Every structure is written in C-alpha cells, then in structure tokens.
Chains A and B, each alone.
Chain A
Amino acid sequence: NAGVMQNPRHLVRRRGQEARLRCSPMKGHSHVYWYRQLPEEGLKFMVYLQKENIIDESGMPKERFSAEFPKEGPSILRIQQVVRGDSAAYFCASSQGQGATGNTIYFGEGSWLTVV
C-alpha cells in the first residue's frame, strides 16, 4: 500500500509565479490535510478537505492560497503570486477518518518550495 504521495518534492519559483503542489492520499483515505513548516518553525495546520469539500480552512492565508480535493485525482494546494515568505516545506497528510484507528494520520514526504 503506497503511502501519501506528494509531488513535486522540490520546487523553485520566482516571485510572482504560481506554485502547485499535489498530494495523493493513501489508498482508502478520504481525508486530506495540508500543513506548512516554515524554516526554524513548527508545523502549522492550513486546511482539511474531504472529497469535493473544504471542511476547515482556518489555517489558510486569506489571499493567494487555495486548496481543492476533486472527486477524481489528487488534492492540489495552489499558491498564486508567490513571495519569498512562502518558502517552506508543505506537508500533506491523510487519514481514513473513521473510528479510533481511522484517525491515525499519515504524512507525505513533503514538497519543499523555494521562492527566489
């Protein structure tokens, strides 16, 4: 059973460009979460999605950031008009979301965004 797959692993963008990060959850998982880890800081929750629904986006910056989890295909975290402060590791995680063991959360290897 493949784990949570994220791509690209590393992405370099110039200021003002768009960054798209993809996440395929573990097989059988319908809950996806995005977290951001800024340099020398801890992980911060960004958004929680289920298929075609945003459940909680309380951690998303108000502008330039959006996320989706379509019926088919991976979840996408999109950052428009990137700035240097967006440079970070972006982690996707997934869970089954049912019952005690279903709440165990599995993280991907992360996507490292560098804005130059």
Chain B
Amino acid sequence: KQEVTQIPAALSVPEGENLVLNCSFTDSAIYNLQWFRQDPGKGLTSLLLIQSSQREQTSGRLNASLDKSSGRSTLYIAASQPGDSATYLCAVSKAAGNKLTFGGGTRVLVKP
C-alpha cells in the first residue's frame, strides 16, 4: 500500500528565503507525482506534474525534482513571498486513472 509522507508538517520563513519542501513515497512504481497548493477553505491548485520518466519540472519560481528509485520529491520555491503562504501537498498516482495518494501536507508561512 502506497504511503506518502511530507516533512516538515509546518514551516515558517522570512520573506525572500528559499523554501524546500520534501515528499517521500514508499512504492516507487508510480505513474506521476503532482504538487498542489491549498489555501484555507479552498480547493487545490495544481502547481507541477512530473511524469515518472522525468527528473524535474519548473514553473517560474517553482522547481520540483523527482528521484523515483529513492522514493523522493522535493519542491523548491525561490525567493519566497507572503503570498506563498499556504499548505503544499504532494500526491502520487500508480496508473493513468489518477487515483491519487496524498501526503499530509506542509503548512508554509512566509513572514513579511
């Protein structure tokens, strides 16, 4: 059974500092891995999707890496801003059907 763990559970940084969020999964037979952002009382916004054959994806200040063999992904957010404050979730799917297994999330606070 796939288990996804995110460490740390919460993170507080001053504005401008780079953020490093970690995600690990127990079963390396994944189809893809996605990073999401969730604001309080809101739905999830997809940030980056990494196919199992890829090593990383980048979008603006965001970069996500994937090491499938070791069961790890890292989300980097450069030059953090207060608007980056949110909960960040990673999720893996085993097949194309998009049944996602989520981690518990990392709650990020960027202080002005």
Q: List residues of A whose CB falls within 8 A of some B CB.
A: 4, 6, 31, 33, 35, 41-45, 48, 55-56, 58-59, 91, 93, 95, 97, 100, 103-110, 112
Report the bound CA distance from A44 to B103 in whole Å. 10
CB distance from A33 to the nearest CB of B (A): 6
Cβ contacts B15-32/A at 8 Å (1 or 0 each) = 000000000000000011
Cβ of B101: which chain A residues have Cβ within 8 Å of it? 45
Q: Which residue of B lies closest to A44 (CB)?
A: B102
Q: Chain B interface: which size bin?
A: 20 to 34
Q: Which residue of B lies closest to A94 (CB)?
A: B98
Cβ of B100 < 8 Å from any Cβ of A?
yes
Query: Across the interface, do A42 and B98 meet the contact criterion of CB distance under 8 Å?
Result: no
Query: Across the interface, do A109 and B96 meet the contact criterion of CB distance under 8 Å?
Result: no
* CB pairs A–B below 8 angstroms (13 shown): A31-B98, A33-B99, A35-B102, A42-B89, A43-B89, A45-B101, A48-B97, A48-B99, A55-B97, A103-B32, A105-B98, A107-B45, A110-B42
Query: Across the interface, do A103 and B102 meet the contact criterion of CB distance under 8 Å?
Result: no
Specify the main secondary structure of chain A where it touches its partner: strand
Given A45-B99, A95-B98, A97-B96: A103 and B49 interface contact (C-beta under 8 Å):
yes
Within the complex, which residue of B34, B43, B51, B105 is in contact with A42, where a contact is CB–CB below 8 Å?
B105
Cβ of B79: which chain A residues have Cβ within 8 Å of it? none
Report the bound CA distance from A112 to B42 in whole Å. 10
10 extra interface residue pairs, beta carbon distance < 8 Å, beyond A33-B99, A48-B98, A105-B100 = A42-B104, A56-B99, A58-B99, A97-B97, A97-B98, A103-B49, A103-B98, A104-B46, A107-B44, A110-B43
Report the bound CA distance from A100 to B49 in whole Å. 9
Q: Which of B77-112 contact A (CB under 8 A)?
A: 89, 91, 93, 96-105
Within the complex, which residue of B41, B42, B96, B102 is in contact with A43, where a contact is CB–CB below 8 Å?
B102
Cβ of B103: which chain A residues have Cβ within 8 Å of it? 42
Report the bound CA distance from A108 to B36 in whole Å. 13
Given A43-B89, A100-B51: A33 and B43 interface contact (C-beta under 8 Å):
no
Query: Across the interface, do A42 and B102 meet the contact criterion of CB distance under 8 Å?
Result: yes
Report the bound CA distance from A106 to B46 in whole Å. 7
